Amino acid sequence: MINNYSSEDKVLLAVDCIIFGFDEEDLKILLIRRGFEPEKGKWSLVGGFLKSEETLDDAARRVLERYTGLSDVYMEQLAAFSEVDRDPADRTISMAYYALINIKEHNEKLIKQFSANWFSVSQAPSLIFDHDKMVHFAIRRLRTRATTRPIGFELLPEKFTMRQLQKLYEAIWDTTLDKRNFINKIRSLDIVVKLDEKDKKSSRKGSFLYQFDPSKYDKKAAEGFMLKL
């Protein structure tokens, strides 16, 4: 006989997404103006509610595509937030995810449609409910992952300069890295390939472009190493 759950409490299950981007200088986060009460008009993470036919990952992918136009992005489940009074409208549990996207690839029309904006992580406004807590949690996870996995490359264009790569890791870790030591460390890891092309936007001489080599990284990872810069 199938158990009857009708006597059990019912709660809403939401997904909230911390979307990180990189503009070649700074680590950014995508926020929206909330369009309904409670907290209408205040800054919020992007999110939505789980539908009955979805898994949590399905719901997170749906939310990400709705707000960015992108469907193939790095996404990771972060943590559940279940304080009883976290949402004044109703009893709601939220599963937070964080995602990494190349800012140049997102759909700008969608950003405008949802009154969204990119903010520097260090200068982001206060958010509704417990969303600030989610962001802090996501930043800690991102910094850990950037040490053990090549997820930072998800934030870069396919071809990038060594300066762009250094600026990215400085933004993630909120620190300044010595240029010579950084370049030597990256070269010693042998996970990027130097191309015969140059980016000449910053100078007439230009800077050589590089590409991430996932096969070389996988080999290194199998040997067990950490990206300590």
Q: What is the pLDDT, as a whole number, of residue 225?
A: 62
pLDDT one-digit tens code per residue, 156-193: 988 999 999 999 999 999 999 999 999 998 888 888 99
Higher pLDDT, 117 or 229: 117
Query: Domain locations in the chain?
Result: 12-148, 156-223
Higher pLDDT, 224 or 106: 106
Higher pLDDT, 201 or 121: 121
pLDDT one-digit tens code per residue, 124-149: 999 999 999 999 999 999 999 888 87
Give the CA angle between residues 179, 183, 187 to the nearest 5°.
175
Q: What is the pLDDT, as a whole number, of residue 199?
A: 86
Residue with the two structure tokens 């240029």: 179
Q: Which residues contact 37 (CB under 8 A, 6 or more apart)?
A: 89
CATH for the 12-148 domain, from 3.40.47.10, 3.90.79.10, 3.40.50.2020, 3.40.50.880: 3.90.79.10
pTM for this prediction: 0.89
Number of helical (H) and strand (E) elements in the chain, helices listed first:
6, 10
Q: What is the pLDDT, as a whole number, of residue 224?
A: 67
CA nearest neighbour of 64 among 185, 56, 171: 56
- Does domain 156-223 fall under CATH 3.10.180.10? My reply is no
pLDDT one-digit tens code per residue, 12-63: 999 999 999 998 889 999 999 998 999 999 999 999 999 999 999 999 999 9
Q: Which helix (H) or strand (E) holds 33?
A: strand 27-33
Query: Mean pLDDT score of the chain, rounded to an integer?
Result: 90
Q: What is the pLDDT, as a whole number, of residue 1?
A: 53
Residue with the two structure tokens 């999110």: 47
Q: What is the pLDDT, as a whole number, of residue 218?
A: 79
CA nearest neighbour of 139 among 79, 207, 72, 65: 79
| Helix-helix angle 162-173:131-148, to 10 degrees | 130
| Helix-helix angle 162-173:179-189, to 10 degrees | 100
Yes or no: say if 19 and 101 are a contact pair by the CB < 8 Å rule.
yes
Q: Is 167 helix (H, G, I), strand (E, B) or coil?
A: helix
